[in-house]
Structure 1
Amino acid sequence: MAKQIEGVYEQLLECAKHEFLVKGFKDASLRTIAANAGTSTNSIYVRFQDKEGLFEAIVEPVVSGVLQLFCEIQETFHEFEPEIQKARVNEYSFKEMDRFLDYIYGNLDEFRLLLDASHGTRFQNFVDELTRVEVEYTYKYMEVAGYMSAEDGEVTGEFLHMVTTAYFEGVFEVVRHGMDRGSAGRYVRMLERYHAAGFDTFFIRDNK
């Protein structure tokens, strides 16, 4: 087996990130990536198998990281006593969204790739996994908080999926619009207040 040259792996990732950001996954050229990295396309196939393997090497660690963080946030809240959940739901959500945004802005290029350059890869619908987790824990909170809609079936999984997807797409607009971290925080806090008000308007809490 031929010995791999030190540093080529990292250089390929850096050049690939740039190529994917500029052209998107489908139009990105392995030849261009290899040439910019000072190596051959065979080096890509040896290390990453194919173009999607190269894309995956860039974004997979970030996808895994954000899902781990998001599940941790949700599970921590779910473990609170019911009265604490009801009293602190908005406070907790607003605070933890700052952690979520910090993670996004610490991996900004990778999120730009996921949002706008991943079409044609298994990551093109990565927001769906965040939505799935959010819907699961929203139902859990509704049961704890005594929302009647959770019991009578009026609020379907499809509806929650729709509004949750809209929420996440709104959050990720801060990336698409090139906002800095401070502006993103202000924008998302407004978005959170908007969605929190809508939640309480639509869902009726049983206070009996």
Structure 2
Amino acid sequence: MACDLLTLVDTFVRCPYNQNRRFQTDGFDKDTREAAGETSRVGREETERRGGDRAARQGEATEGVRALAKRDEDATERLLAAAREEFFEKGYEAASLCAIAERAGSSKGAIYVRYPDKAALYEAVVGPVIEELYARMERCFDDFGQMDPAMQRTEMNAYADRGIGWMVDFLYDHFAEFKILVCGGKEDLYQRFMHRMVELDSATTYRYIEAVGNDAVTSGRLTPEIMHMINTACFTGIFEVVAHDMGREEAHAYVERLCLFYRAGWNTIFYPDYDVSAGVPKPPSDPAAADELKRLVEARGGSP
């Protein structure tokens, strides 16, 4: 019986049909593995391709955003340049947003996308130079305050002269903006600007007085009201060079003379024994010179 069973098994194994089936199965497994490997390779390549396409699309999108930003920046600059011209020629009140858009080769809608109204556009024109002037003056005053008190006392006039000279040059480097601010702008913005400048100068003066131990404040010779009036008058006078369209060199000479005038006045506050009349020339003794002086006074309406 056992022999018969072994014979049956051997016969089954040796059967050509079964041997061929086994070979087919082995081949199938090999083909399956190869196909799976090929699928994996193709999948990896496809993933890499898609990743490359995605990176390329992202790069194109980034470049597109940059291009749009550049075009938007250019359009904004054209609008600001057009607004500067319009405000300079016509002043704030008479300036027209439609005219500004036409100057810029744009539309009124393009203005409203960037600025809610004419006031905001006006501030965008003059605001940057105002802030730069204020910031640089603030740094200048802070640098002065870092000096030791003895140096502050001896260097105050020379330091102030250099600062004022720089300020005049800055006004003329940005003449259009300051002309718009002083003569053709919104009165409230000009007043806010002047108030900030006066407050900055006043704070610096108080620090100087404290540093050098001057008694101008404690004695009552200098009050907040007097300080405000003096500094307001001085800054208003400086900006007159813009209002009257003086040339740069003429403006320097004018402001230098103005500062000498105010410096003499400050000396009466800082130094109670300061002799105002010291150095004042006597009236001319020559009759011809006296007549000429009288003629000049009368020609100016009684003002020397």
Structure 1 residue 195 displacement after superposition: 0.8
Tell me the matched-pair count.
204
Match of residue 209 from structure 2: 142
| TM-score, scaled relative to structure 2 | 0.63
Structure 1 residue 123 displacement after superposition: 4.4
2:134 to 63, 67, 90: 67
Distance 1:49 1:202 in 2: 48
Structure 1 residue 203 displacement after superposition: 3.0
Distance 1:137 1:36 in 2: 43
Distance 1:168 1:121 in 2: 16
Structure 1 residue 120 displacement after superposition: 5.2
Determine if the alignment matches structure 1 residue 202 to structure 2 residue 202. Answer: no
Determine if the alignment matches structure 1 residue 175 to structure 2 residue 175. Answer: no
Tell me, yes or no, if the aligned pair for 2:222 and 2:269 is still in contact at 8 Å: no
Tell me, yes or no, if the aligned pair for 2:126 and 2:181 is still in contact at 8 Å: yes
Distance 1:26 1:15 in 2: 16
Match of residue 34 from structure 1: 101
Determine if the alignment matches structure 1 residue 77 to structure 2 residue 131. Answer: no
Match of residue 13 from structure 1: 80
Tell me, yes or no, if the aligned pair for 1:114 and 1:126 is still in contact at 8 Å: no
Residue by residue, what CA displacement relative to the aligned partner does 1:143-184 show, whole Å, maximum 9, x if unpaired? 223332212344211210100010001111111111121111
Q: 1:76 to 1:105 in 2, by over 3 A?
A: same
Tell me, yes or no, if the aligned pair for 2:221 and 2:269 is still in contact at 8 Å: no
Distance 1:36 1:48 in 2: 17
Distance 1:22 1:41 in 2: 19
Question: SS at 1:150's partner residue?
Answer: coil
Distance 2:268 2:223 in 1: 16
Distance 2:246 2:271 in 1: 36
1:52 to 119, 124, 128: 119
Distance 2:91 2:200 in 1: 27
Q: One-letter code of the match for 2:214?
A: Y
Q: 1:47 to 1:121 in 2, by over 3 A?
A: farther
Structure 1 residue 13 displacement after superposition: 1.0
Residue by residue, what CA displacement relative to the aligned partner does 1:181-200 show, whole Å, maximum 9, x if unpaired? 11111111111111111100
RMSD of Structure 2 on Structure 1 (CA): 1.9
Determine if the alignment matches structure 1 residue 110 to structure 2 residue 177. Answer: yes
Structure 1 residue 101 displacement after superposition: 1.5
Determine if the alignment matches structure 1 residue 185 to structure 2 residue 255. Answer: no
* Structure 1: gaps of 5 or more residues: none
Q: One-letter code of the match for 1:149?
A: A
Structure 1 residue 90 displacement after superposition: 0.6
| TM-score, scaled relative to structure 1 | 0.90
Match of residue 53 from structure 2: none
Q: One-letter code of the match for 1:137?
A: T
Tell me, yes or no, if the aligned pair for 1:13 and 1:58 is still in contact at 8 Å: yes
Determine if the alignment matches structure 1 residue 95 to structure 2 residue 162. Answer: yes
Structure 1 residue 105 displacement after superposition: 1.3
Q: One-letter code of the match for 1:170?
A: G
Match of residue 226 from structure 2: 159
